[in-house]
Amino acid sequence: METTDKTAPATQQPDQNTTSLDLMNRMKMHGMAEAFRESLAGTTAQSMTPDSFLSMLLHREWDWRAQAAVTRLTKNAAFRYKAYLEEIDYATNRGLDRNQMERLATLDFVRNGQNLFITGSSGTGKSFLACA
C-alpha cells in the first residue's frame, strides 16, 4: 500500500521498529527517533520498564527541541563574532575572574530584571539592559 507523509501505513510491515522510526521522523520527533535508534543498538531498552523507557524517549525529544531552539535563536541573532565561554583565556592578565564570568553566564540578572553595566578602557558605554 502506498503512503504519504500524512498517513500511517495501513498494512503491518515485517519490521515494526523500522516503521516506528519512520513515523517518528515523519512526525518530526527527531530526538525521540535518535534515542530509539540508540536503544535498538544497545541493551538500554531491555533494562528499563516501559514507563521509564517512554520517559527517557520524551526527555530526549524535549532536550533535542530545546537544543534546536537555542541553535536557531543563536543563528538568527546574527552575532558578529563567534565566541564561547569555554574558550576564554583566564591566564592572560586582563582582570577577568572566572567565577564571576560563569555566574554572569547563567543570565540570572536577566530573569531578575536587573541591569548589568560593564566598564572597560572606553568607559561605561558597554551595557546590557535586561527586559522583564
Determine contact, residues 118/104, Cβ cutoff 8 Å: no
pLDDT band at 105; cut points 50, 70, 90: confident
Tell whether pTM > 0.75: no
Q: If pLDDT is split at 50, 70 and 90, which confidence band does 61 have?
A: very high
Question: SS3 of 88, please?
Answer: coil
What confidence tier does 8 reach under pLDDT thresholds 50, 70, 90?
low
pLDDT given for residue 56 in this prediction: 92
Greatest pairwise CA separation for the chain in angstroms: 71
Count CB neighbours of 53 within 10 A.
17
Q: Taking the C-alpha atoms of 19, 24, 27 and 28 in order, what is their torsion angle to the nearest 10 degrees? A: -140
